[in-house]
Structure 1
Amino acid sequence: MITKELVNKSIDYIIRHLDEEISIEDVADYCHLSKYHFSRVFKAETGESIYAFIKRLKMEQSALRLKLEKDKSITDIGVDFGYSSSNYSSAFKKHYNISPGEFRKAMNITDVPDPFCSEKIAWFQSFEEYAQQITIMELDDFVVIHERHIGNYIELGKNWCKFKEKYKDYFKEDTLLIERFYDDPSITSVEQCLYDICMTVDNNCSLDNVITIKGGKFAVYRFDGLVQDIFAVFQGVFNIWLADSGYEMDKRYGLDIYRDIDTQNKHVVVDLCIPIK
């Protein structure tokens, strides 16, 4: 199996079992490799040890839960990711230089620093303003060609250009460009964000990197504006609308479905789709 495909397979396994005790041996066995060979392959491909990767994802997903599930106790969130109360607080503080309680209080309801521009602040609208622009929809499954990236979202445009050129022969009139995102860049380092770029194809496409993205119930926000303003809207929908909507984000991951792209003017029309239950 090609190294990149092997690592992607292992990452998918880790994501599915993140709320369980995961050992390096578990992941290596899933990939049918020895622990030592797998560890070398994973580090060479991602620049991060498998142990550090699992630990980081657990911490970042717990931070996302602290941000979104305001009524759930810090202790219970820590336990969900395998930590005792005292261990979770110390591990969280070591990772973020702030305690879980302080982190939760710091989730400002009016603005957040933009990690892609240190001098910029992302300001939020009110809950009612976001709610007026959100539609609850049932989306069908998507059969897609996909490529996974770990890195700064600033490279997203460049990666999309390469992707579209590589698979230009598969474009049709009804082809959709879809980004599947796993991380919140206000929580995860911008250099370590995990995302898939995808395009829809026919069910009979024979490429090796064809997968099915599960549909289901989503809260859909239609963004129509400049690329540089997407972060503020993304944060507002999560911090303001989702946190107080009565819905919860489930274990599927979010999608950005591009409806129109004006590359020259850096203007896009994109549906921000949050999986909910």
Structure 2
Amino acid sequence: MIIKKSLINKSIEYILQHIDEDISIEDVTNHCNFSKYYFSRMFKEETGSSIYSFIKRVKMDQSVVSLKVEKDKTITEIGVDYGYSSSNYSSAFSKQYSICPVEFRKTMNSTEVANPFYPNEYNTFKSFEHYDAKIIIQDLGNFKVIYERYIGNYNEIGSNWYSFMERYKTYIKLDTLLIEKSYDDPSITQLDKCICDLCITVDEHVELENVTMIKGGKFAVYQFDGSIYDIFVTFLGIFNIWLPRSGYKRDKRYVLGIYRNIDRKNNHVTMDLCIPIK
């Protein structure tokens, strides 16, 4: 599903940037200068979710990512970070994921993970040393981009890229970068609810309604060279294995995938997997 209304994208961006705050429906509608009733109806028509359900889902999903990487925090502390009391967090967590947070955290010691895109397949993580040897800490600059925001299964990214690039082919040059800006971990978030922006870099003079600036900053950059089918487990390995032992903290921004070379015939890509850190 492409989110076509710029106002809805503005509200989603606001929610994602303030997800660890006590954000309300009124905060979102006031930010967009619309009445609560009218904007709530428009939001649901465009996204398929109410504003309240969207905020609740993203808060819980992001708290699970924190459970993975913030090993120095207790489960209670993480629940409180996202607006839950201790008992409410455990109950809400168990209801959404059919496992309690204590048991979930124990699974983080595993060296393999079920692949959500291929349910019968398990992927094994590499060692900390493997990821550490291929990661460079970089300060990335800002990127001015044309973007389209999708809510849906990451498996559909390939076909979405084809149609996106066809629509904006007149803006594509030799030095244009293709960038994926993603917010969700598909091993946590329901596959049909994952948020991803497809972006192409453009010159400063380009002005369209769907032009935005991807803000740079400090990232752990893993130089990936392999099959597109291995991108998911590599991202997850960085989060599950490397980040908790790296000495860095996750910065609650978006993850970037910057393509350097694409061999569509052989499903092979060279790209930078960029994890925001602080």
Q: Same fold (TM over 0.5)?
A: yes
1:201 aligns to 2:221 (yes or no): no
8 Å contact from structure 2 (residues 222, 272) kept in 1: yes
Query: What is aligned with 1:266?
Result: 267
Query: What is aligned with 2:165?
Result: 164
Query: What is aligned with 2:177?
Result: 176
Letter in 1 for 2:235: F
Q: Which runs of 5+ in 2 are unaligned?
A: none
How far is 1:253 from its partner? 1.2
8 Å contact from structure 2 (residues 67, 105) kept in 1: yes
Query: What is aligned with 2:143?
Result: 142
Query: What is aligned with 1:10?
Result: 11
Q: Distance in 1 between matches of 2:52 and 2:100?
A: 22
Q: Distance in 1 between matches of 2:101 and 2:119?
A: 24
Query: What is aligned with 1:90?
Result: 91
8 Å contact from structure 1 (residues 109, 239) kept in 2: no
1:154 aligns to 2:155 (yes or no): yes
**1:213-244 Cα deviation digits (max 9, x unpaired):** 11111111111111111111111111100111
8 Å contact from structure 1 (residues 110, 124) kept in 2: yes
In percent, how many aligned pairs have the same letter? 62
Give the ranges of 4+ consecutive aligned residues of structure 1 lying more than 2 Å apart after TM superposition.
Answer: none
Q: Distance in 2 between matches of 1:268 and 1:113?
A: 23
**1:142-186 Cα deviation digits (max 9, x unpaired):** 111111000001110001001111111111111100000100111
Root mean square deviation of aligned Cα: 1.2
Aligned pairs (5 A) from 1:174-253: 174-253=175-254
Secondary structure at the aligned position of 2:5 is classed as: helix
8 Å contact from structure 1 (residues 74, 101) kept in 2: yes
Secondary structure at the aligned position of 1:25 is classed as: helix
Aligned pairs (5 A) from 1:44-123: 44-123=45-124
8 Å contact from structure 2 (residues 29, 35) kept in 1: yes
1:28 aligns to 2:29 (yes or no): yes
Q: TM-score, normalised by structure 1?
A: 0.97
Secondary structure at the aligned position of 1:173 is classed as: coil
Q: Which runs of 5+ in 1 are unaligned?
A: none
8 Å contact from structure 1 (residues 124, 233) kept in 2: yes
8 Å contact from structure 1 (residues 150, 192) kept in 2: yes
Q: Distance in 2 between matches of 1:246 and 1:234?
A: 18
8 Å contact from structure 1 (residues 143, 202) kept in 2: yes
Q: Distance in 2 between matches of 1:201 and 1:249?
A: 28
Letter in 2 for 1:242: L
Q: Distance in 2 between matches of 1:80 and 1:267?
A: 39
Q: Distance in 2 between matches of 1:205 and 1:131?
A: 38
How far is 1:3 from its partner? 6.2
**1:94-118 Cα deviation digits (max 9, x unpaired):** 1111111111111243100000001
Count residues with an aligned counterpart: 276
Closer, same or farther: CA 162–30 of 1 in aligned 2, 3 Å: same
Query: What is aligned with 2:130?
Result: 129
8 Å contact from structure 2 (residues 6, 209) kept in 1: no
Secondary structure at the aligned position of 1:218 is classed as: strand
Q: Distance in 2 between matches of 1:95 and 1:107?
A: 18
8 Å contact from structure 2 (residues 115, 123) kept in 1: yes
